[in-house]
Amino acid sequence: MTTASEVSSDATAIRPWRRWVPLILLCVALLVWATDQLVKNWVVTSLPEGVTVPVLGDALRWHFVRNPGAAFSLASGSTWIFTILAVVVVCVILWQIRRLRSIAWSVFLGLLLGGVLGNLTDRLTREPGFPEGHVIDFISTPWMWLGFTEAIYNIADIGIVSGMILFILITLFGLPIDGRTRAQARAAEEAAAEAKAASKAVSKPAADASSGTETPTRPDSEDGHAAP
């Protein structure tokens, strides 16, 4: 007979190779961060600041600017706030690595981590100085009109946006971060419910026995016989 604990163990079992899944996160993050920083260094040394250089006509252009705000040059003037938020995001992602067993989640978090680290590196190392350095933006796509400004961004921003798109898909498909399938998750929930019910069934008789009252005995009379 299979016990509830055995069912729960089978339902939550993780394939051994999934323990290496966090490496995917680190590799994706490193790739995004390194590419972002290498390209930004090329931009700083090779492109004139503030000058538009057509690449694919008006569809894609280089336009080097220093951005004190968030992605796509939004919310300029709050650099230190975004620096703090970036540090918090990095800490949360690193904390989640211990639970990570899903490839999809690894790619999502890797894209997000690499993008956040790319822009955070700029804020910590570039002018005007720590911790309010300006982020290097250079990709201009006029057709991506944001309603109030032209979209100018960088590789790190692409990583962040790509990661968020993947997160939406992960949410729609209901993929858990620990790599379990829906069937495994459902089996684990059922096993936990059965174990809880079994625990209650065992503890209730014990509680009843411990709370029961003893039948009082009648004291003996002086002649040794029980009092009526």
Catalytic residues: 137, 157
| Edge-to-edge strands, sheet with 135-140 | 52-54, 61-67, 135-140, 152-153
Say if residues 87 and 120 touch (Cβ distance below 8 Å).
Answer: yes
Strand partners, 63: 52
Q: How far is Cα 77 from Cα 64, in angstroms, rounded to an integer?
A: 18
User: Where does 54-213 have alpha helices with state H?
Assistant: 79-96, 103-125, 155-173, 182-211
Q: What gap in Å lies between CA 101 and CA 24, rounded to an integer?
A: 10
**Separation CA 71–CA 156 (nearest Å):** 9
